[in-house]
Structure 1
């Protein structure tokens, strides 16, 4: 609380110990808040205020008397030190407040925000904040794409009926969450919506079925793409902005396997069913949404504002790899809003029945590292980008399925226009892939490096080796090792190459000596019977002694980890 302005400490100090009544400082503070809020143009026009209590979360508009009672009963919603929904701008508040709010986030709040209902309330609150900021001489309006999102959110934020705290959007999201969390069939969701329509007197804003709810939520822009694949994993039937135009092909260019199943004779449907399909969830709009919300936009610069000077590694930004990247790419590091990403992938069997044949499905998850440590590795900020289908392990062909993600990473390296609501500015958001998190088999697949055998032990130790990675098409993938480690690893690789060449030369020399020895033995066996017996005995002893000496000289060097001495 030391970094919170003294004028706002009363907000979360509501009651005396033992619930013996409201504190006078809180009552006076609420009256001051009501007075400031009533001076805004929105209250002058409508005569109502957004209620910032812990129950309404600024999603409900009520009269002054109701707002006052809600604040006395429930208190203010969490982290509302800056009254953005009631005419206050971030620039007018002490900058220390931003750091305090970033430090004050804990795991419990992140788990709470994981709730679907809280997510909708948070999204609605951001749109309300934007409306007020827009009326307060905003320096730069949102770009066209961000404005479209805010407009769609505003249209979906109509209450179910007058006085309702639920909107059409929140009901649709809760229905979809019900289907997802408990694997409810589409017909069951249709039955639930029909039951709600029958028992609700005012039902013009309720979704009529599962399709209606899904269509409303899908308008918010976080879409998923289905991309047809070759059944052998050779290619994707996919078009991109870099000259690939394979979306109209009917068979694989490499193995010539068909794209679609053969239709049955006399079938009434004309729809073509693909043999194999993968899902791709574009990463660019998901990163843009982090800057469209006041709750997360301010935290995207945490790594820059909270750098450690104690030498303790508490965040990836304190590591040498992060600092090395900043030195190599100063243009990227100049804007702390540019995003550093980590990628994680592994296979799993989605079917739990023991009688089913083995099936390996590979999700690819991307997470931003700009956020504070308590946020960046939590569930809400781990974005599923690719879902690679089975039934077999993709192995070396995983780069085929990562192609849409790589295309988006190329765009992000150049920059994508994004609206930052915390600074009310449009900027070119860039992103780089810094790390991958996986076990050794997946590490070999993603990097294209060898992860088996003694020769790769020290290459794995220093993170270098033969680079044939599907991700190295992105200019942003760099060596995560420090400069000193890279120099040491290069020396080890050169030494390994010298030892390999010397072993190959020694092997070829032994084979050549063996061939010459066989030829000499054949000639000696022909000539020896023609000589006198005493001469034969002497020559035979000399030949045996020479053969014994050659055998000792041609013993191969001992095997093992020849690099263990270094």
Structure 2
């Protein structure tokens, strides 16, 4: 039934071919999925809910047609594909798996056991796995070999998050129940058996001060050539051999080339890698990066790259996290992730298609020194752009020269400074406005305030002439222009990069907002990219949500409306109705109520709306547990909770408690975020 022709399903239901196809379907369905003389009716009205006799089902399918999307007849005896049910197969194609993984040694597979001394390392690993694949799990076992059973167990461990200790205990239980089974003794030994099937990583030693990597020409050095620090930790004895020494810092780098090649080993994934070119709707809407100007501009600049849709487009993202799950230990580890934009939007962000490029160790953030750790990735990206790599396409059963390009980076605001080199602090913090950033230091709040956003509005917009609502002046400046990659490279042509935590006092030959010349400019195409760095909207939304909720509920330490901000307004000479008023009798300053100030009962009602909201299961975490109605505050919510609050709940909560002009502004703000986060932007 899996091989049954389905082309007749798109024909007119009155045609002879459609009727013949329905009868073929019914023959197979009654053989495999009947209950007595009835089967589930897959027509548009019954939708596989009601059991009917053959003549009734036939009439329904001819009159109503099949239910939309029912192309895999799982209710009528057809098996799900192995992609959806990875544990459903009775027999694993281990031979096919090994030949796909070691396709480059096909010419060496004719050697016997006594002729394997002169083989390559890949060939030796291949024959080792072949031998494991031939061993029976136990005498007389037909369904599993030793290798296939260990692979299946390892898959279970990955799918269900079993710890290494739990995996070892499970092996002990299986050996006790099945004493004749050829099972490894522990998780580590099981891992050694199948490690050659997986995608490994390289351990690269690094200077503890982030000055350099002991890599390439520096691989034999024992001390950093910049700061002189030892390559080895204090626990290691420098008099012993290198194998017994303990490195002070280790970068774990996952090579990119084999991971990209693996994407084309499966026929279904190889087809999905062409989605952006062959299946993407071209209706003028934005639903994928390929619909944006940056992608189209890249295609026009590099036609030789874009003519083959299998060439891979990548995005890079990085952020720090505490791996110890506690705030009592200050530790920052930085993973660097790569996203594959050849795939459709509903696939490319799934964990199985994200690629971990490297893990930069802590205990502190690498900051501007992240370029030191990005060197191996940049070298691979340059090779993939200039030369490519021979890759087997399982869909066409042919090899091609695959190339890859890094389109942009995505990060939060502090990480943007680390990746781009533009300082996101101080007077010129905005990378979009760059040298035209409009800023003012507020001495009472001790913060830099960034103004002048009216410059991005149309020239005839009424806000440009509105003095009272802004800084007391009209604003008719043109919008600032972003710096192109060529302009940035010209400004940084003679820039002296200084890396390493022990070398921050060394003067650079440039004292502007630039902290470094980004390593990404070593990529031949980077200076021509129209969009090089992006900000993550989820971080921005979380920060705005924190500020809004803190200000509306007047949460101490989180509100933006406080005594110092009122003195700043007074110094700027704007919003006179909000200036602090001093009482001559006691000298205390009193603050006038803002238009968004809520009474205690209004705050409780606001919090009650958020707490009592009934959310779909899995749509967001339990927001109600984060709301304290009695204390009138919200805390501990995650980024996705802020996403849901800004899109839906805030607009409901402010509708009755706040004046119309305030609630309307907040509703429009929520609608703006909802629009730019929609699946299709029109």
TM-score bucket (shorter structure):
0.5 to 0.7
Q: In the TM superposition, what are the counterparts of 1:182-197 in structure 2 within 5 Å?
A: 182=161, 184-186=163-165, 189-197=167-175
What displacement does 1:228 show? 0.9
* 2:474 corresponding residue in structure 1: none
Alignment TM-score, normalising by the size of structure 1 = 0.59
What displacement does 1:474 show? 1.6
Q: Which of 5, 8, 13 does residue 7 from structure 2 map onto?
A: 5
| 1:238 is the counterpart of 2:215 | yes
Q: Which of 188, 195, 203 does residue 211 from structure 1 map onto?
A: 188
Q: In the TM superposition, what are the counterparts of 1:52-67 in structure 2 within 5 Å?
A: none
What displacement does 1:389 show? 0.7
Q: Partners in 2 of 1:433 and 1:130 — Cα distance?
A: 27
Residues 412 and 431 in structure 1, CA contact (< 8 A), matched pair in contact too: yes
What displacement does 1:384 show? 0.8
Q: Partners in 1 of 2:89 and 2:379 — Cα distance?
A: 29
Q: In the TM superposition, what are the counterparts of 1:144-543 in structure 2 within 5 Å?
A: 144=105, 160-161=137-138, 162=140, 165-173=143-151, 175-176=153-154, 182=161, 184-186=163-165, 189-204=167-182, 206-239=183-216, 245-263=217-235, 271-356=244-329, 358-413=330-385, 414-457=387-430, 458-459=432-433, 464=483, 466-467=488-489, 468-481=517-530
Deviations 1:416-440 (A, max 9, x none): 1111111111111100000211111
Q: Partners in 2 of 1:348 and 1:308 — Cα distance?
A: 37
- Which structure carries more relative contact order (alpha carbon 8 Å, separation 6+)? 1
What displacement does 1:304 show? 1.1
Q: Partners in 2 of 1:291 and 1:279 — Cα distance?
A: 25
Alignment TM-score, normalising by the size of structure 2 = 0.50
Deviations 1:522-547 (A, max 9, x none): xxxxxxxxxxxxxxxxxxxxxxxxxx
What displacement does 1:406 show? 1.0
Residues 221 and 285 in structure 1, CA contact (< 8 A), matched pair in contact too: no
* 1:85 corresponding residue in structure 2: none
> More helix by proportion, 1 or 2?
1
Gaps in structure 2 of 5+ consecutive residues? 10-20, 34-38, 41-48, 58-71, 110-121, 435-479, 490-516, 533-682
Residues 432 and 477 in structure 1, CA contact (< 8 A), matched pair in contact too: no
What displacement does 1:183 show? 6.4
Q: Partners in 2 of 1:268 and 1:385 — Cα distance?
A: 32
What displacement does 1:370 show? 0.6
Q: Which of 76, 79, 104 does residue 79 from structure 2 map onto?
A: 76
Residues 229 and 276 in structure 1, CA contact (< 8 A), matched pair in contact too: yes
Distance 1:127 1:219, change over 3 A: closer
Distance 1:156 1:441, change over 3 A: farther
Residues 123 and 293 in structure 1, CA contact (< 8 A), matched pair in contact too: no
Q: Partners in 1 of 2:252 and 2:100 — Cα distance?
A: 33
Residues 448 and 470 in structure 1, CA contact (< 8 A), matched pair in contact too: no
Q: Partners in 2 of 1:281 and 1:482 — Cα distance?
A: 26
Q: Partners in 1 of 2:193 and 2:99 — Cα distance?
A: 22
What displacement does 1:398 show? 0.1
Report SS of the residue matched to 2:244.
coil
Distance 1:287 1:455, change over 3 A: same
Relative to structure 2, which stretch is displaced further, 303-312 or 277-286?
A: 303-312
Report SS of the residue matched to 1:284.
helix
Report SS of the residue matched to 1:347.
coil
Relative to structure 2, which stretch is displaced further, 467-476 or 424-433?
A: 467-476
Residues 178 and 184 in structure 1, CA contact (< 8 A), matched pair in contact too: no
Q: Partners in 2 of 1:405 and 1:330 — Cα distance?
A: 24
Distance 1:130 1:456, change over 3 A: closer
Gaps in structure 1 of 5+ consecutive residues? 27-53, 55-70, 80-108, 132-140, 240-244, 484-566
Residues 168 and 207 in structure 1, CA contact (< 8 A), matched pair in contact too: no
Q: Partners in 2 of 1:119 and 1:411 — Cα distance?
A: 39
Distance 1:456 1:190, change over 3 A: closer
Q: Partners in 2 of 1:456 and 1:119 — Cα distance?
A: 57
Residues 389 and 403 in structure 2, CA contact (< 8 A), matched pair in contact too: yes
Residues paired across the two proteins, number: 390
Distance 1:421 1:120, change over 3 A: farther
Residues 126 and 293 in structure 1, CA contact (< 8 A), matched pair in contact too: no
Deviations 1:493-544 (A, max 9, x none): xxxxxxxxxxxxxxxxxxxxxxxxxxxxxxxxxxxxxxxxxxxxxxxxxxxx
Q: Partners in 2 of 1:119 and 1:407 — Cα distance?
A: 41
Residues 346 and 362 in structure 1, CA contact (< 8 A), matched pair in contact too: yes
Deviations 1:411-467 (A, max 9, x none): 211201111111111111100000211111111111112333453533468653635
What displacement does 1:382 show? 0.6
Report SS of the residue matched to 2:424.
coil
CA RMSD of aligned residues (A): 4.4
Residues 175 and 213 in structure 1, CA contact (< 8 A), matched pair in contact too: no
Distance 1:176 1:307, change over 3 A: closer
* 2:585 corresponding residue in structure 1: none
Residues 164 and 187 in structure 2, CA contact (< 8 A), matched pair in contact too: no
Distance 1:275 1:179, change over 3 A: farther
Distance 1:472 1:320, change over 3 A: same
What displacement does 1:387 show? 0.4
What displacement does 1:192 show? 3.1
Report SS of the residue matched to 1:340.
strand
What displacement does 1:306 show? 2.4
